[in-house]
Amino acid sequence: FAGYDDSGKLLGFAIPAEEPGFQDIIGGILGYDPIQKIIIGFEVLDSKETPGLGDKIMKDAAFQNNFKALAVDPQIVAVKKGEKRSPNEVEAITGATISSKAVVRLLQKAIEEWRPAIDAYEKTLNQ
């Protein structure tokens, strides 16, 4: 879904995605800025991950902060807490590594799937 400002300028895209987690499918939506090539937000919409552990992907503010300006190049990767050094890295939640890595896979797969179409659409706007 494309998002525009009041003047009709493209702001970004909302992209739905899902991926198997530890317990079940994790479903969510991400915001993507095609100009800067970054994820500007991510929200889990559906998850049955373990209460108190895996469900932190929805509740942990530090984990959510990973998605405010997450670079998609060269590839999104999970790292241990405190080891983030690059803008394409997501700090995993201690005790919820499987769920954290599932979110990273969800994001990476969504970008890989949608980016070619988004790039093509963006080119039509610039003609």
Dump pLDDT digits (tens) for 63-103. Answer: 999 999 999 999 999 999 999 999 999 999 999 999 999 99
**What span, in angstroms and rounded, lies between the C-alpha atoms of 12 and 90?**
21
Query: For the stretch 87-115, what's the b/e string if a residue is b when 16 or more beta carbons lie within 10 angstroms of its beta carbon?
Result: ebbbbbbeebbbbbbbbbbbbbebbeebb
Q: Which helix or strand (DSSP H or E) is residue 101 part of?
A: helix 97-125
> Which amino acid is residue 54, in one-letter code?
G
Question: Is the pLDDT reported for residue 62 higher than 90?
Answer: yes
Nearest Cα to Cα of residue 14 among 42, 36, 37: 42
